[in-house]
Amino acid sequence: MVYVRKNVSKLTATERRRFVDALLELKRSGEYDEFVRLHIAHFRGDGERGLRAAHMAPSFLPWHRQFVLDLENALRRVDDSVTVPYWDWTRDRSPTSKPWTDDLLGGNGRRGDRQVMTGPFAFRTGGWTIRAGITDGRFLTRDLGRSRRPIDLPTKADLDWALRDPVYDVSPWDSTVSKGFRNKMEGWGSGGTPWRNHNRVHRWVGGHMLGGASVNDPVFWLVHAFMDMQWSRWQRRHRKHRYLPARPPGRDSDQRNRIVARHERMPPWDVTPDELEDVSEIYRYA
Ligand code: CU1
Ligand code: CU1
């Protein structure tokens, strides 16, 4: 059965509770922290050597598609009514709107140490201790809107600008490209606008969302579900266009063996971007 991913602001009270409870159960069992560790292990920039599967590369979108699917499958083993909701930050734009309520993800971090004090993921509830991180902090942190140097969430115009681009990605397939849907969504910028869409949302949330350990904040999944939804929209809008590159870069390219082409395996999974382009038999967005 094809299941439905919903807008987080449209969930019923029961759906909110079941989603939160399933996350807390994965945390309790230790499974959640494995997702955090996997993401940290794949957090590699284009300044480093080796294959980039997750970020600063064409497979940014399919990599996170598979990653969200794995988490969703784990949640559904706990409670098969649960799916990963998405956060539409072009509509819910305030630090007090959904999903920052006490019955969902809780609110902003407090002044000083930025510790999240409200909701189910506050350290003091005992259910959400950070175990896999880049620093030693044991509590979840946020700095919604970046208090010292305020930043706005990306807008619908930012999203439309990315969706309009019919080309999936362009050479040299990294964080420097100024064309292509993938980096316009991933959001590495240059010049006057350093952060676009996805990267700007990570910046706006702040705290744990700033680095490789961002998965510690459950909003990570809501952000990437919305990203994934935009990829599906882009596919519907540009039917003749597909994931690029179709073939691995040639021998003379410095991107050889550094990115995943359409029919190449995308680590850590035994799956290719080609196989992840159509998910219509698994889930859809409402
Ligand atoms: Cu990521
Ligand atoms: Cu992200």
Looking at all shown ligands, the one closest to residue 186's CA atom is 2
pTM of the model: 0.97
CA distance 155 to 90: 5
Q: Does residue 212 contact residue 193 with C-beta atoms inside 8 Å?
A: no
Tell me, in angstroms, the distance from the centre of ligand 2 to residue 231's CA.
14
Q: Which pLDDT score, from 0 to 100, does residue 48 have? A: 84
Q: Does residue 184 contact residue 191 with C-beta atoms inside 8 Å?
A: no
Looking at all shown ligands, the one closest to residue 44's CA atom is 1
Measured torsion, CA atoms of residues 24, 27, 32, 37, in degrees rounded to the nearest 10: 140
Instruction: Supply the CATH number for residue 143's domain.
Output: 1.10.1280.10
pLDDT at 10 over 80: yes
Tokens representing 68 are 């969200």
The pLDDT of 40-48, averaged and rounded, is 88
Q: Does residue 67 contact residue 59 with C-beta atoms inside 8 Å?
A: no
The pLDDT of 245-258, averaged and rounded, is 94
Q: Which pLDDT score, from 0 to 100, does residue 191 have? A: 66
Output the average pLDDT for the chain.
Answer: 96
Tell me, in angstroms, the distance from the centre of ligand 2 to residue 12's CA.
26
Q: Does residue 140 contact residue 128 with C-beta atoms inside 8 Å?
A: yes
Looking at all shown ligands, the one closest to residue 202's CA atom is 2
Structural domain of 173: 3-285
What's the distance, CA 14 to chain centroid? 24
Q: Which pLDDT score, from 0 to 100, does residue 270 have? A: 98
Tell me, in angstroms, the distance from the centre of ligand 1 to residue 54's CA.
6
Q: Is residue 49 very low, low, confident or very high in pLDDT (cuts 50, 70, 90)?
A: confident
User: How do residues 69-109 score in pLDDT, each as one tens digit?
Assistant: 999 999 999 999 999 999 999 999 999 999 999 999 999 99
pLDDT at 193 over 70: no
Q: Is residue 252 very low, low, confident or very high in pLDDT (cuts 50, 70, 90)?
A: very high
Tell me, in angstroms, the distance from the centre of ligand 2 to residue 188's CA.
12
Tell me, in angstroms, the distance from the centre of ligand 1 to residue 41's CA.
10
Cis amide bond preceding 267, omega within 30: no
Q: Does residue 29 contact residue 125 with C-beta atoms inside 8 Å?
A: no
Tell me, in angstroms, the distance from the centre of ligand 1 to residue 213's CA.
9
The residue written with tokens 């680095």 in the block is 211
Looking at all shown ligands, the one closest to residue 220's CA atom is 2
Looking at all shown ligands, the one closest to residue 185's CA atom is 2
What contacts 189, CB < 8 A, 6 or more positions away?
195, 196, 199
More confident residue, 191 or 69: 69
Domains in the chain: how many in total? Answer: 1
Q: Does residue 72 contact residue 83 with C-beta atoms inside 8 Å?
A: yes
Q: Does residue 197 contact residue 162 with C-beta atoms inside 8 Å?
A: yes
